[in-house]
Amino acid sequence: MRTLVTGGAGFIGSHLVDALLARGDSVTVVDDLSSGRKSNLEGALQAGAVLERLDIRDADALGSVVAAVEPEAIFHLAAQVDVRLSLSDPALDARLNIEGTVNVLEAARAANPARPARVVFSSTGGAIYGDTDVLPTPETVAPLPMAAYGQSKYCAERYLGLFDRLYGMSTIALRFGNVYGPRQDPHGEAGVVAIFCGRLRAGGRPKIFGDGRQTRDYIYVADLVQALLRAGDSDAGGVVNIGTEEETSVLAIVDRLAELHGPGAPEPEFAPARLGEIERSCLAAGRAGEVLGWRSQTAIAEGLRLTYEALAGT
């Protein structure tokens, strides 16, 4: 299959690119390398993937690439992913996550109006549902984002529906839980697992914002990639949660990483909770089972071990 992955040089995107190549697809990556790295694609570029360095806000440049490649499936992962930046600069967040997504949809439609590429959109669970009492949260719960990031992702999802209605496009939005695994940036703003692994490796203390009892649905990146592949191959539409149905607290993550570190693991330090952070998040995964035949495979203890060991050299 001819595929195009926006954000393919990033953490999740680069794992997806590897999996697409491994099953024999041709892959074009669209990425401006703002947070992604060319080194994430080292093996992929050797295996025949093509990197087009451009900003998805540049509709003309994006449209030219999509028209030339004529992909059958587009996995749209390029995004502004920083919740705190979305609060300090909500307009920037909207330009990247809403306008960028509209550009992707429009490029797919214009490249082949009779048979546009299927578009798989990477959305978010926790940031869209906000603080809800319904846990694990099904897709039917009304969105209540607590930050511009969740709002922009939700708005982008609605554009998928619009392009379905207007042009009969085949699209799906996957609402991910908190994704973790090798290649996640340990120096970044998001990604508590990578940050803690990085701190522990450097002999530093993990910094916990709030009391550490806040929970998330942590999903291992290899499991998520399987969901993306299935979503690309199916014709299911609408929104689908991709999570584990398990809540894990930040304290439990720190405990498990301390166990992996062994004796002498530094104790965590605590800082005040941050604006825009929700208390609990856990995604119902029933719809993913029904429409994609997917469920997560990697238990959190095992996923943390794989991640901790993979980040050893970084």
Site of interaction with ligand NAD (CB under 6 A) = 7, 9-13, 31-36, 55-57, 77-79, 81, 96, 100, 122, 124, 176, 178-179
Minimum distance from residue 201 beta carbon to ligand NAD (Å): 19
Minimum distance from residue 255 beta carbon to ligand NAD (Å): 21
The Cα angle at residue 158 between residues 157 and 162, in degrees rounded to 5: 120
> Cβ(159)–Cβ(105) under 8 Å?
yes
Please give the positions annotated as active site. Answer: 149
Amino acid at 161: G
> Cβ(241)–Cβ(175) under 8 Å?
yes
Which CB atom, from 77 or from 200, has the smaller least distance to ligand NAD? 77
Nearest CA among 47, 34, 41, 32 for reference residue 13 = 41
- Cα 20 from Cα 62, distance rounded (Å): 21
> What token pair was written down for 64?
């030219």
SS3 116: coil
Query: 267's torsion region: left (phi>0), alpha (psi -120 to 50) or beta?
Result: beta
Q: Which string of b and e fits 198-224 if b means at least 16 CB within 10 Å? A: bbbbeeeebebeeebebbbbbbbbbbb
- Cα 135 from Cα 267, distance rounded (Å): 30
> Cβ(300)–Cβ(184) under 8 Å?
no
Which CB atom, from 56 or from 147, has the smaller least distance to ligand NAD? 56
Determine if the peptide bond prior to 71 is cis (ω within 30°).
Answer: no
Amino acid at 223: D
Which CB atom, from 7 or from 116, has the smaller least distance to ligand NAD? 7
> Cβ(175)–Cβ(283) under 8 Å?
yes
Which CB atom, from 209 or from 266, has the smaller least distance to ligand NAD? 209
Minimum distance from residue 262 beta carbon to ligand NAD (Å): 27
Question: Which residues, at least 6 apart from 38, have a Cβ–Cβ distance to it below 8 Å?
Answer: 9, 45, 51
Which CB atom, from 100 or from 143, has the smaller least distance to ligand NAD? 100
Which CB atom, from 170 or from 184, has the smaller least distance to ligand NAD? 184
